Structure 1
Amino acid sequence: MQLQLRTVNVTRYVTPLREGGSMPAIAEADDGFLYVLKFRGAGQGHKALISEIIGGELARIAGLKVPELVFAELDEAFGRTEPDEEIQDLLKASVGLNLALHYLSGAITYDPTVSSIDPVLASKIVWLDCLLTNMDRTPRNTNMLYWHKELWLIDHGASLYFHHSWQNWEEQALRPFTLVKDHVLLPEASELATVDAELSQLFTPAIISSVLNLIPDEWLDEDMFSSSQQQRDSYAKFLNTRIANSSIFVKEAQNARETFI
């Protein structure tokens, strides 16, 4: 399986999205579409963009709705004309290849007090977030949108938090995801066992490799690795180990869910 992301050129900086910790922005590209632009020069740097690719594309393969991800080239001219100094610094630090998600115009934030989710869909999202150790799908910040009456997932930048230090990462691959207790969809995720059987078979090493091959070499620059491929292989080992031992995080989720029943 060979995956590919399109590349667009940013032509217009529209407006910052200041509610995002990494200062994303709405921008227009040379294909005429609007995108939510995630900057390589933001606080988490390349790591957040790597998490976005891995989380977004695995979600898409699992059949979940995710806005199209594209690589976005940013020209150095943008930093010269921006009057806001903070944004100007961010643009200057992000010249080159960034990541963007198709902007879902008119989408509304998922509200668990208003909408209910199909148990299989909820279970798939919870399972995937446990795999990715995604801490950012809480009632306070669901990172899910309703668009055209369908649920869409956004913002996987807080996933895979082990890669911010790579400390004991092989051990972390075998740990349960204790933060699942705060997951906004956990109360509705009654089909975790069924979903586990499906997704643990779907996400083969070949599928994982195809997603990781989307990551540009220039974003894989950890000093502790001898090459970008070695770092990519370490991501693969982490994910494949968690998938092979998915019963660990599934049991944690099931136990946490009992508090809601």
Structure 2
Amino acid sequence: MIPKLRTVNVMRYISPLREGGSLPALAEACDDFKYVIKFRGAGHGTKALISELLGGLIAKHLGLPVPEIVFVELDKAFGQTEADEEIQDLLKFSQGLNLGLHYLSGAITYDVATNTCDPLLASKIVWLDSFITNVDRTFRNTNLLIWHKELWLIDHGAAFYFHHSWDNWEKTSVTPFAMIKDHALIKQASELETVHKEFTQKLNDAFFRELVNTIPDEFLNWEEGPSNEEIRDVYFKFMSNRLAHADIFLKAAQDAR
């Protein structure tokens, strides 16, 4: 069962995180915690927030360390004192519901050249990213943090890339995901077969149906035309079909090693 996500209100904008392509920001919420906010008004809009939500919740379900995910309300008064016009526009177009991840204060970026990763954990991360078609965990940008001597996964906004070309979801669901060859942890992922057996048992259609129902309507009111329920159903069918053909992307990852 997926725990109900909390909703917080942003109280204070602290700073933009310009290393992120979608211009996320560090902000303080009404619960006195700090969050990295992913804005609906940035880059790929709410599709990136959906990827972040689904990818993060799948990772949590599989036992991988991901910061707490919360829904974030942003009112129209927020950010009016921001001097940067680009950020002002971003905040203006992000009024309403956004997504946040608990800020891991003091965390450092995982560096493939200097940090090690347990082969089993590396295999779990590689399998996850193969399943959700996450193109953004490379040597150049690992989207991995070391926090309290543990490895944490962040930023799944580039996953489920099929939704940027909505009509090809069925074809993408059975792709071998050749881009896994560029994964930051591919060389350490020597336990893929073991992980494959574990994860294909943990994931199922009941979980996927519950998962897509966590996507709020505010993220689904697209201009493309499909209804919110039709969109949720495509995400469900994509994941169900991908799991049914998981041997395809497993082999691609094994070959890439």
Shorter-chain TM-score above 0.5: yes
C-alpha distance in 1 between matches for 2:20 and 2:5: 24
Gaps of 5+ in 2: none
Per the alignment, residue 110 of structure 1 pairs with 110
State the partner residue of 1:24. Answer: 24
Distance 1:54 1:173 in 2: 15
Aligned residues: 257
Q: Distance in 2 between matches of 1:225 and 1:191?
A: 42
Q: Which residue of 2 aligns with 1:8?
A: 8
What's the offset of the Cα at 1:219?
1.1
TM-score scaled to structure 1, two decimals?
0.96
Contact 1:3–1:210, Cα closer than 8 Å, also in 2: no
How far residue 195 of structure 1 moved from its aligned partner, in angstroms, is: 0.6
- Give structure 1 regions of 4+ aligned residues with deviation exceeding 6 angstroms: none
Give the TM-score of the pair, scaled to structure 2: 0.97
For 1:209 and 1:36, locate their aligned partners in 2 and report how far apart those are by CA, in whole Å.
Answer: 27
Any conservation in 2 of the 1:35–1:101 contact (CA below 8 Å)? yes
Q: Aligned residue for 1:126?
A: 126
8 A Cα contact 1:79 1:89, kept in partner: no
Equivalent position SS for 1:35: strand
> Who is 2:187 aligned against?
187
Q: Separation in 2 of the partners of 1:169 and 1:184?
A: 26
CA positional deviation for 1:226: 4.1
Matching residue of 1:142: 142
Shift of 1:86: 0.5
How far is 1:187 from its partner? 0.4
Give the distance between the partners of 2:222 and 2:199, measured in 1 at CA. Answer: 30
In 2, Cα distance between equivalents of 1:41 and 1:48: 10
CA distance in 2, matches of 1:195, 1:68: 24
Whole-Å separation in 2 of the counterparts to 1:167 and 1:96 = 28
Secondary structure (helix, strand or coil) at the match of 1:12 reads strand
- SS at 1:81's partner residue? coil
Aligned to 1:167: 167
Deviates more, 1:211-220 or 1:26-35: 211-220
Whether 2:250 is the aligned partner of 1:253: answer no
Determine the structure 2 residue equivalent to 1:201: 201
How far does residue 155 in structure 1 lie from its aligned partner after superposition?
0.2
Query: Helix, strand or coil: the match of 1:26?
Result: strand
Cα distance in structure 2, aligned partners of 1:172 and 1:124: 21
RMSD: 1.1
Question: Do the aligned partners of 1:225 and 1:231 also contact (CA within 8 Å) in 2?
Answer: no
